[in-house]
Structures are given as C-alpha cells and as structure tokens.
Amino acid sequence: MAKDPVCGMNVDEKKTTQKAQHQGKTFYFCSAGCKASFEKEPARYAK
C-alpha cells in the first residue's frame, strides 16, 4: 500500500488509476481530486 501524499489515505498502487510522476518518483492517489491538488503544487506534497 502507498500513502496518498495529499490526504494521507492508504492506496493500493496495483488498483488505482490515479498516479503521477515527480522527480523520478511515482505517487499514488485515492481520487482525481487529490491528484489534481498534487499536480498544482507537487513540491508541497512530495516530501
């Protein structure tokens, strides 16, 4: 399980279709809304 960097929810990286790349790392999201928030400010969430 991966942790959604925006809301903190656990996400099954094998099942989710919501993912994004930032600085060579893949981030997984519980929803399109969390993914959109991440894409607006990736440096804020990619810690």
Residue 43 has pLDDT above 90, yes or no: yes
Residue 10's pLDDT is: 98
**Within 10 Å of residue 45's Cβ, how many Cβ atoms?**
19
pTM attached to this predicted model: 0.91
Residue 34's pLDDT is: 98
Residue 38 has pLDDT above 90, yes or no: yes
Confidence band for 28, pLDDT divided at 50, 70 and 90: very high
**Within 10 Å of residue 6's Cβ, how many Cβ atoms?**
19
Domain ranges of the chain: 2-45
Amino acid at 3: K
